[in-house]
Amino acid sequence: MKIGFIGLGIMGRPMAKNLVAAGYSLVVFDKFAGMDDLVALGAERGSSNRDVASKSDIIITMLPNSPHVKEAILGKDGALEGILQAKRKDVIVVDMSSIAPAVSQEVAAALKEHGIAMLDAPVSGGEPKAIDGTLAIMVGGERDIFEKVQPILGKLGASVTLVGPIGAGNVTKLANQIIVALNIAAVSEAFTLSTKAGVDPQSVFMAIKGGLAGSTVMNAKVPMMLEGNFKPGFRIDLHIKDLANALDTAHALGVPIPLTANVMETLQGLRTAGQGGSDHSAILLHYEKLSKVEVRKRS
């Protein structure tokens, strides 16, 4: 069995490396990023999305947003062309990108017309968990197809959960991204307050992280905030993309999500200020600016 992997960005590259390390045969392609490191590990270099698909039994895509996924799979020189050209049977497409649920359903329907199965399987955990293979993977699609690829996904994530039909994976991811964004904003607000009041933020962190306010988000992001380290594990630009998809989906369903809209404006302001490439923990900078205080460890 050969796996085609399309999209070698911050998340896709370490994920592909983990599959190679697990002993899978890979053919890889990225329109903009280099492939030399993966080829050196034993992966085959693909020349296009179509080329990758023509050689693969399982095709994984890990791309920035909905238009990129549609282009890579359904567009000119896309994966669908490669599958049909090679007359491959029983191919499964697994889109691990975080995109609009409606687009997952649209792409899946187009593939189904040709007898090609698809899962949407977005992930949570950022670059660190992509590197160590402990992502949380939320999957939408048919159970029998899910069971065929579950062992592969298990090499990429610590949890792999079928949450419903196609599109349900990305609905779950949107819920995840709303909670993460609001959690980071709440942490930023709280630590700005405590710092302004003259209480050591490191001490506050140690005191509350084991209580009800504690969370994976707090444990991951507060140490970065206290160090002033906003090197991206998950960029603000990408979180804006996810919240835009969340707002669009919510509006289509008639679901008000006012807190999400509020934090979206905070992220948009940070991007305007040149922080779009920073980690989403840089939400702290917005609150520091408003309160005229700097949250850092104190010696």
Active site residues: 173
CA–CA separation, 27 vs 20, rounded Å? 10
Which stretches of 24-140 are assigned E, i.e. beta strand?
25-29, 44-45, 58-61, 92-95, 117-120, 123-124, 135-140
CB atoms within 10 A of CB 274: 8
CA–CA separation, 100 vs 260, rounded Å? 16
Print burial letters for 68-83: b (CB count within 10 Å at least 16), e (below 16). bbbebbbbeebbbbbb
User: Percentage helix, strand, coil, to 5, in the chain?
Assistant: 55, 15, 30
Q: Are 10 and 232 in contact (CB under 8 A)?
A: yes
Q: Which two tokens stand for residue 155?
A: 């090499």
Q: What amino acid is encoded at 138 in this protein?
A: M
Q: Are 191 and 204 in contact (CB under 8 A)?
A: yes
Task: Tell me the residue length of the chain.
Answer: 299
Sequence-distant (6+) residues with CB within 8 A of 94 are 58, 59, 60, 61, 118, 119, 121, 149, 152, 153
Q: Are 79 and 111 in contact (CB under 8 A)?
A: no
Q: What amino acid is encoded at 95 in this protein?
A: D
